[in-house]
Structure 1
Amino acid sequence: MKLRLPQVLAITAAAAVMATSQAVPASAAGPLKSITNRVVGSAVAAQNLNEADFKSVLTREFGNITPENEMKWASVEPNRGQYNWGGADAIVNFAQQNRMTVRGHTLVWHSQYPNYLNNLSAADLRSATQQHINTEMGRYKGKIRAWDVVNEMFNEDGSRRQSIFQQKLGDGYVADAFRWARAADPSAKLYINDYNTEGINAKSTGLYNMVKALKQQGVPIDGIGIQTHLATKYAFPSSFRQNMERFAALGLDIAITEADVRVPLPADAAKLNTQASYYKQIWDACHAVSRCVEFTTWGYTDRHSWIPGTFPGEGAACLFDTNLRPKPAYQRINP
């Protein structure tokens, strides 16, 4: 996804969510991670791990964390050969200390890469990409459950995005990235990740056709990450389960990697009820497909959601409100 920076909801929107969610009791069934055999996770920013209440709910409810920005290429190697592992190390260490797993995000992406890549020849870019994968995956070898190896490589019409990698390295860069990743950490599950691929459409079909061909070529791809950024102003994708089933039939795992459901602000009880139905449909579809192995949200609290800063007039997209109270969506999943 685009750059995720912590955003603050408008006061009126926050008040509406709080007022609605205060009436929603926490589940007596236990935390989310205890009611399913799927991996249940949330994206986090390392800086938010300093908040005691945030940490408490995170570790209680979730068994996996995904770094929001800390493992992206521009974050770990802003200048060639100059590394900054502070944020990524903090997340991995936190996960280990709290018996959580980590989803690595992300290795090859058209956004948030260091500027020096733009000046490299094709041969140098290929070498730099291989070195980046080897270095980052090598540092965390055995500590990352799954990696988003290639991220957001398709246009909406199902064609390949003309990223720096596509333009300079050609179609083969995807297969190369997965082969390098497998060699760097054979124990990690390797995914391709994208948005607007929830239902059967041109984009998800382009992804399906490419992954089918890669599998036939023996490329070591283990799964598909479906980001699942939804909005209640659009209908829920009716072919969501069918889409997951066709990827599963290729012998691939499926992960819901970045789920959130934004609503028009200010939020009210009716809007949050619709949101809850969307979250429940995501949850149920994943549990209806045996190879859907993960349900991860892009942040679990409206306190730190990226949505208001990217979609003006929309927000309140997470399972918990700004005060970390469970919202109707949480209760619908975990009654």
Structure 2
Amino acid sequence: MALAALVAAANASPVSTTLKARQDISAPYLNSEAQAKGKLWFGTAVDTTSAEVDNSDYMTIFNDTNIFGQTTPGNTMKWMYTEPEQNVFTFAEGEETIALAEATGKKVRCHNLVWSEELPSWVTDGSWTNETLLAAMKTHITREIEYYGEGCYSWDVVNEALDSNGSFTENVFLEHIGEAYVPLAFQYAYEAVESFCGDIKLFYNDYSIEYAGDKHTAAVALVQTIQNWDGAQIDGVGFESHFSTSFAPTQAEIEAAMADFTALGVDVQITELDVPCTSVPCSADALATQAQVYYDVVAACMATDDCTGMTVWDFDDEYSWIQPAEYDGEGDGDLFYSNLTRHPAYTAVSEAIEGSDCSVC
């Protein structure tokens, strides 16, 4: 869909003339509830390269700022999209997310600048030295931050730099620059923001850091390294929170993990929450477990003053990145079914925000 059409869809009134009979846009309203309790938002990812933005029923829910007050581009600001060839920058697809957000009063968590995945071949297969790759990384970070500017509330500067055992993930940056690529990325990002006196928060984002373990310990140490790096700045840590009905930490475990980071003076946010069932369709028991996991994650954030926002990794099962055919039968992990009615987990999230007991767990 063209950018103008996306914005027109966001501004159209009423959008609901073609709603499915069972589409649910009634109260409770998760973003309104979260903001009333002092959080910045309850939000959702969106992928403007997928069919979801051509689905008027989906977009009606996405555009409702009472439900979602923030968005994250699922893919379009990653390196392979924004710099497919060295020094050839293509920012139009990322602009679509910012335009959608601005049209409906949403903040944007811009995602991401440096990651070992979704890199163009000129990065992964290049003949690099330490000096030349640092220059390329700095150029990429600087150009992207300066281009999108204040359209971004925050940036995930580095994404998933750690393996499950706490060691650094093998990638082209580690190979040619070493572990210093992480604090250097934050240094370059901070310099870019300062160049136009911007107010943009800089985050480290990762999964399996939401509970105690080697990776969590390593992530805490990494934040301290960034904080101690001359010229670098880090404002927060994203807890991705990709869980399932077969594994998830408890609310107490998540709160303890958050406390380890907030004690360092940084914020935390839930950034990519989803909870697929191990098989689909989800059984009644699985739906209750799924609701409990959503409840525990959101309740942990609500109980943590410096957990400032919560984002699900899209909200409709039809467009989830976890599809049964690709993930050994797992699926249906979002807050809305493919027909855009709500999982019981939607009620659980509302109850967690409001501080009441879970009635559907």
TM-score, with normalisation over the residues of structure 2? 0.83
Alignment partners' CA distance in 2, 1:217 and 1:80: 28
Report what 2:113 is aligned to. Answer: 107
Question: Tell me, what secondary structure is at the counterpart of 2:175?
Answer: helix
Does residue 145 (structure 1) correspond to residue 153 (structure 2)? The answer is: yes
Match of 1:157 in 2: 165
Alignment of 1:110-149 (within 5 A): 110-117=116-123, 118-119=125-126, 120-149=128-157
Q: Taking structure 1 as reference, are residues 168 and 202 closer, same or farther at Cα in structure 2, changes over 3 Å only?
A: same
Does 2:284 match 1:278? no
Equivalent pairs counted in the alignment come to 312
CA distance in 1, matches of 2:26, 2:307: 24
What are the Cα deviations for residues 228-252 of structure 1, in whole angstroms up to 9, with x where unaligned?
0001112434511101011001001
CA offset at residue 81 of structure 1?
Answer: 2.4
Q: Is it true that 1:232 corresponds to 2:234 in the alignment?
A: no
The structure 2 residue matched to 1:51, chosen from 55, 64, 76, is 55
State whether residues 26 and 331 of structure 1, in contact with CA within 8 Å, keep that contact through their aligned partners in structure 2: no
- State the match for 2:202 in structure 1: 190
**Contact 2:25 / 2:61 at 8 angstroms: preserved in 1?**
no
Maintained 8 Å contact 1:27/1:334: no
Tell me, in whole angstroms, the C-alpha distance in 2 between the residues paired with 1:100 and 1:108.
24
Q: How far apart in 2 are the matches of 1:284 and 1:27?
A: 22
State the Cα deviation string for residues 289-331 of structure 1 (Å, max 9, x = none): 1000110011111010011254221001001110111110001
Q: Deviations over 1:63-92 (max 9, x none)?
A: 111111100000111111223222111111
Percent identity at matched positions? 32
Alignment of 1:1-335 (within 5 A): 28-29=27-28, 31-37=29-35, 38=39, 39-47=41-49, 48-60=52-64, 61-117=67-123, 118-119=125-126, 120-185=128-193, 186-217=198-229, 219-237=232-250, 239-266=253-280, 267-308=282-323, 310-334=326-350
Q: Distance in 1 between matches of 2:236 and 2:259?
A: 12
List, as ranges, runs of 4+ consecutive aligned residues in structure 1 with deviation greater than 6 Å: none
Tell me, in whole angstroms, the C-alpha distance in 2 between the residues paired with 1:27 and 1:278: 23
312-321 or 80-89, which deviates more: 80-89
Between the aligned partners of 1:59 and 1:312, the Cα distance in structure 2 is 32
Residue matched to 1:5: none
* 3-state secondary structure, aligned to 1:334: helix
Structure 2, unaligned runs of 5 or more = 1-21, 352-361
CA–CA distance in 1 between the matches of 2:186 and 2:300? 28
| Structure number with higher relative contact order (C-alpha < 8 Å, ≥ 6 residues apart) | 1
After superposition, the Cα gap between the structure-2 partners of 1:59 and 1:109, relative to the gap in structure 1 and judged at 3 Å, is: same
Structure 1 residue 268 displacement after superposition: 2.0
Tell me if structure 1 keeps the 8 A contact 2:210–2:241: yes
For residues 350 and 303 of structure 2, what CA distance do their matches in structure 1 show? 16
Provide Cα deviations, 1:113-155, integer angstroms capped at 9, x if missing partner.
1111231332211111100011111111111001100000001
Letter in 2 for 1:28: A
Give the 3-state SS of the residue equivalent to 2:150 in structure 1.
coil
Unaligned runs of 5+ in 1: 1-21
Q: Which residue of 2 is the match for residue 6 of structure 1?
A: none
Contact 1:26 1:326 (C-alpha < 8 Å) held by counterparts: no
Q: TM-score, normalised by structure 1?
A: 0.89
Tell me, in whole angstroms, the C-alpha distance in 1 between the residues paired with 2:120 and 2:130.
16
| Greater strand content | 1
